[in-house]
Amino acid sequence: MKILNRSEIVSLLPQVELVEQLEAGFVQYSRGQSVVPPVGELLFDEPPGDVHIKYGYIAGDDFYVIKIASGFYENPRLGLSSSDGLMLLFSANTGELRAILLDQGLLTDVRTAVAGAIAAKYLAPKPIRKIGIVGTGIQARMQLQYLAPVTDCRDVLVWGRNPQHVADYQSAMARQGFIVNPTASASRLLEECNLIVTTTPSRAPVLECSGELPNGLHITAVGADSPYKRELGPGIVRRADLVVADSISQCLERGEIHHAVSEGILKQDDIRELGSVISGDSPGRETDAQVSIADLTGVAVQDIQIAKAIYLQSVRDGAPAGRRL
């Protein structure tokens, strides 16, 4: 049994083809080839935070995975990351624990950012002229990092509530080759950007629209992963030509789609699933004029694929067989 700590996992990540692994997982999920029970969830008010327990397996695979990931959003005030967690990988043949991945939430952050890149790959218009980012935290940084191979665009407009955090974000992303300009108005992103990624744990819409949306706009929403979170106003979802969920069943219970369906803005039959778009079983963006939304609430199949990939890479690299806790 292996125990891999965060630094070991960081060293293994560049050796793994994450986009390929996650795309395969999404396709298997949408084709009904995985078992993914409903999300386990703990919600906290003081201080604000949430804990998600996601687990499952892919049919015929050698492993099943249980992941516990938390987000406590006032942690940065204490000098701590807002994310934490671990993944447990078991043999699907014997039930034996094969690996403990003490990633401290890193793999959840990475697989979320990779999913954002996949959504842009299949749904964003071409060319991407300017990227809009809502938020300045871990996902705001990682989404840009993993978008880099998908597009040549390095022009970014960012909105955040805290001016110092916005300045820090500008500096950090400039070191990765992005030209980042701030805006005090989130609505400016809708006017100037044709790819927007929302990354906040907001409980009220951050992006609102009462008029028409610009042709060709794509929005990837990753922040609203619980029933009470919401980043997009109803007018935005109402005007979308294409709405894609990472998991239709899960998005009916949480995230942007959950709110839109509950309010009668969107019908379940009008939602497509990301894995079906990747495989070609469902059409994705059909014209550059369409307005599209990807609602990514995080599916256990992503955790299965990334945990398995890291573990198997560690075996190939001959990493230590394990340490005792």
Q: Which residues are catalytic?
A: 67
What distances in angstroms separate CA 238 from CA 145, 175, 283, one per listed residue? Answer: 30, 38, 19
Residue 270, number of CB atoms within 10 A of its CB: 13
- Two tokens at 108? 């959840």
**Alpha carbon distance 82, 79 (integer Å):** 9
Residue found by looking up tokens 């294409």 in the block: 242
| Residues 267, 23: Cα–Cα separation, whole Å | 26
- The CA distances from residue 42 to 68, 164, 203, in Å, are 11, 31, 16
For residue 60, report the phi and psi dihedrals to the nearest 5 degrees. Answer: 80, 0
Report the C-alpha gap between 308 and 98 in whole angstroms.
10
Burial of 224 (C-beta count, 10 Å sphere; 0-12/13-18/19+): buried
Let me know: does 122 contact 90? Beta carbons within 8 Å: no
Q: Does residue 218 contact residue 193 with C-beta atoms inside 8 Å?
A: no
**Closest residue by Cα to residue 302 from 26, 42, 43:** 26
The CA distance from 250 to 230, in Å, is 15
Give the chain's count of helices (H) and strands (E): 11, 15
Judged on CB neighbours under 10 Å (0-12, 13-18, 19+), 7 is exposed
